[in-house]
Amino acid sequence: MAAINSFVSQRIPLFKKSPITLIDSSSSFRKEHQETRPTKNLVRSIVRRRKWGVRSAIDDQELVRLEENRLKDGEQSLSLDGSEKIEASSSSFNEEKGAVEVLKGFSGRAVNATIVLGVGTLLVTRLLTIDHELWHGWTLYEVLRYAPEHNWIAYEEALKTNPVLAKMMISGIVYFLGDWIAQCYEGRPLFEFDRARMIRSGLVGFTLHGSLSHYYYQFCEVLFPFKDWWVVPVKVAFDQTVWSALWNSIYYVVLGILRAESMADVYSELKSTFWPMLTAGWKLWPFAHLITYGVIPVEQRLLWVDCVELIWVTILSTYSNEKSEGRISESSTGENDASSISRPDKD
């Protein structure tokens, strides 16, 4: 028993000094190595001491701290690498998108310029070459002098042979040009017009305005067959109430259908623009229709009206497309707000 006590008393100082030695070795290790990752020697020494039963709480804490730092550094480097990759990919995507938009805008302007120059060249050529069969020995002055007269004669002959088609062609051209003027008035460059919008407007003028106007003026003469002076203001009043209300409604409804809008949106647009457009027409058309019903013959009225329509179609198209673009922007804003509300927070 005495031998056991003496052996234990000799071994106790070793157990008391070991923590001090380990603290010194670990502190010197921290001074020599400032890296956050634990070295293999440190791990091996701690594991070796654990096998021999020599435990040091400070060594355990140090190992845990270094391991946590290593994991944090790995996460930070991973997040930095990911953010850099995301930023690089987003910047490259934006650059590619910008290049595609520039190329698309250039190609669109080229197509628009080709359309304008082609149609303009065709019209001018047809007008100037109306009597090319008679050009034998003519000078340029004679060609330019007789071209307007002969074009007018050709127009009157077309009115006799096929009046509806002739008036449809004129109305289609006028509504096509009127929408182009409206887009330029809204601030678009000359060759950056919306082709689909112009085609829709020209289609409405060709299919509906020319034919309906032809029959309307015939009906108006049947409805008011008198030749007295008071008939002119009566026809103007009837035109600016019944016919204007009917045509404005047809124009907005058909344009909305061609834009693939819902009937609710079409009705909302018609409801909000019906009265303002009707009263806006009273500032222009009563004065023009004093000439329409007082001076111009029945068969020539649509040509005169279409000349004034270049101004009126500009107003109509501007009103219609402002309402449509306003609804589109409101709907996109509402969708963005709804998506931001429905998106859960990630914090």
pLDDT tens for the 347 residues of the chain, in order: 555 445 445 544 444 444 444 444 444 444 444 444 455 555 555 555 544 444 455 555 665 576 667 666 655 555 545 555 555 566 665 666 666 666 666 777 788 888 878 888 888 888 888 777 777 778 888 888 888 888 899 899 999 999 999 999 999 998 888 888 888 877 888 788 888 988 998 999 999 999 999 999 999 999 998 888 899 999 999 999 999 999 989 988 998 999 888 899 888 888 888 898 888 889 889 999 999 999 999 989 999 998 888 888 777 666 666 655 555 555 555 445 544 444 444 44
User: How crowded is residue 326: how many other Cβ atoms within 10 Å of its Cβ?
Assistant: 12
Which tokens is 76 given?
A: 């930070």
pTM, to two decimals: 0.61
Give the residue carrying structure tokens 């030749």: 227
Task: Please give the Cα distance from 257 to 136 (Å, whole number).
Answer: 52
The answer to whether 202 touches 340, Cβ cutoff 8 Å, is: no
Contact 150, 290 (CB under 8 A): no
